[in-house]
Amino acid sequence: MNEILDFSIAEALRELVAGNLSSVELTTAALSRIERTEPILHAYAAVAAEAALSAARMADDELRHGLCRGPLHGIPVGVKDVVCTRNLPTEAGSAVLKGVQPNFDATVVERLRHGGAVLVGKTVTSEFAFGPRIIPTRNAWAQDRTPSGSSSGSAVSVAARSCFAAVATDTAGSLRSPAGVNGVVGLKPTFGRVSTWGVIPMSPSLDHVGPIARTVADCAAAYSVIAGFDQRDPCSIEGDVPLPCLENVRLDGLRVGVERTHLPGPTTHPLALNAAVEAAAVLQQLGAAVVEVKIPELEWVDPSLLTIKTAEASAGHSARLVTDAANYQQRTRVMLQAGAMIPAVRHVQAQQARKLVTDAVRETFRRHRLDALLGPGWGPPSSMSDDASVPFTHPLRSSAVNLTGMPAVNVPCGFTEDGVPLGGIELWGRPRGEGMILRIAAVYERVGRWHRRVPPIAQEAG
């Protein structure tokens, strides 16, 4: 029965529409997988079993009457616990919001429900997507390795096959990083492409909402459902968001940039660097022109992003820090208090550096006529410490796309000798260029076929 959890979203939907499978069966299998793996993985902050089965029955009834709402109709999904939901608590991984249950859905949840998706639960986040985790989430491939953050639960749940896709957030790589170290696909869209209304903010000018899924096509399907203009979000941008066609894609004539000097951070893992080099060779063999570029302005990414992120997070929590400081975890509280001491002039300088980075990256795309820019992912997951929040080496300059607002996708690129993901490779795109980077990613995915590997814990769960 649980082999249906290995279906892609398109395969599952095809079986649902044909009547060979019901959403109730699919949802029951997902809930069973959660029950078996959750004592070990701790990917969920809350599970909505009864509500999920009710939604599944409704999805089945609609299909019997010829109504299919879209690519996620009847498909079990998860939502990060910083995204407001009317039928489940939204605690943002913090005692500060313990027991808080909104009476409304965030825009992305509205769109999931309207699209017929079945919400099985809220996935674990670091505290306010900023600090340590209260719940000790484990990597889906090796429970002694970090799942990364802050969207830990979203990536782990998808990798463990307890949902088919999950909503996550990305302020400095916190969607793409967990996706990379858990061997799944993570898409950070163009800033404003997916509404943040109803999502607890961390750094409003850097926050992005996007999907995590097992395959590029699954990620594209989820993205097509949650994306689009929202008048309640002042940063939302207009424009259609069609589901990109990923079949029979060829790379002939496409130009992919490679930045080997300034894009890798000083602590980028050697295996991540090697994976990016190998990926460039694969894309070239498949017909793409690989273009060497240099963007020295990327050196400004780390200091400017840290200043902006910390200052904006501190401003957003200033009132709560006065009334409820004791309920924050110490590390979170200290970082937020430090943000309050950032001088205004330093924040202005960081925004000026942000513009320099943005202009330089966009000019590089224009000058070299690039369709995408290829870079390293996060490298293999490091060992976990007892507090489940150990940091690990990563290419922080991947956060450049949070500064520029340009889209990026992390795609699996292989495994280490001891069987853990290499952390993926990244493809950056032009503004609103999600379709292009997803097409390139889909071609790369078909060569490696890394998405077909299943974590041992999912195999053992049956």
3-class DSSP assignment, residue 257: strand
Distance CA 35, CA 111 (A): 27
Distance CA 64, CA 191 (A): 38
Distance CA 425, CA 258 (A): 12
Distance CA 459, CA 461 (A): 5
Q: Which of 207, 200, 209 is nearest to 227 (CA)?
A: 209
Residues taking part in catalysis: 80, 150, 174
Cα-atom radius of gyration of the chain, to the nearest Å? 20
Distance CA 413, CA 424 (A): 5
Q: Which of 199, 174, 197 is nearest to 186 (CA)?
A: 174
Distance CA 436, CA 333 (A): 40
Query: Buried b / exposed e across 392-418, counting CB within 10 Å, b at 16+?
Result: bbbbbbbbbbbbbbbbbbbbbbbeeee
Type and span of the H or E element at 211: strand 208-213
Residue type, 222: A
Q: Is 306 exposed, middle or buried (0-12, 13-18, 19+ CB in 10 A)?
A: middle
Distance CA 155, CA 78 (A): 10
Distance CA 353, CA 362 (A): 14
- Does residue 150 have a cis bond before it (omega within 30 degrees)? yes
> Would residue 226 be called left, alpha or beta, if left means φ above 0 and alpha means ψ between -120 and 50 degrees?
alpha
Residue type, 429: G
3-class DSSP assignment, residue 274: helix
Q: Is 326 exposed, middle or buried (0-12, 13-18, 19+ CB in 10 A)?
A: exposed
Query: Buried b / exposed e across 36-51, counting CB within 10 Å, b at 16+?
Result: bbbeebbbbbbbbeeb
Q: Dihedral (C-alpha) 110, 115, 117, 121: value to the nearest 10 degrees? A: -10
